[in-house]
Amino acid sequence: MRSRHPNATWYELKMTKEQISAVLESVRSWPQEDQEELAEIAREIEARRKGVYVMDDEERAAVRKGLAQARRGEFVPDDEMDAFWKKSASIMAR
């Protein structure tokens, strides 16, 4: 399997079970924030593979909060959303 990462070199990315185990073992020494980032990426890959995304408790709470705000009619003003999308587009274009 070739890497799909645009900055990756040409080499093949075939990992043995032992290499995968070694990488996962090394993750235990990472800072908590990095471990959480890896877990999120793994959940996204798993969702793509299965076609189902399972939210974690933090995401579920954020969705509930957003739905409650919408029911109360609390929305971000259009000018703030325009600025957000403009900023997002410039970041994605990098």
The verdict on residue 18 lying in a domain is no
Q: How many CB atoms lie within 10 A of CB 35?
A: 13
Render pLDDT for 21-73 as a digit per residue (tens, 0 to 9).
999 999 999 999 999 999 989 988 988 898 887 888 999 999 999 999 999 99
Residue 76 domain flag: yes
Answer yes or no: are the C-beta atoms of 71 and 78 closer than 8 Å. Answer: no
Q: Which domain holds residue 69?
A: 57-92
Read off the pLDDT band of 89 (50, 70, 90). confident
SS3 of 75, please? coil
Overall pTM surpassing 0.85 (yes/no): no
| Rounded (10°) CA dihedral 9, 26, 53, 49 | 50
**What local confidence, expressed as pLDDT, does residue 12 receive?**
56
Residue 20 domain-assigned?
Answer: no
Task: Output the pLDDT for position 54.
Answer: 80
User: pLDDT at residue 2 above 50?
Assistant: no
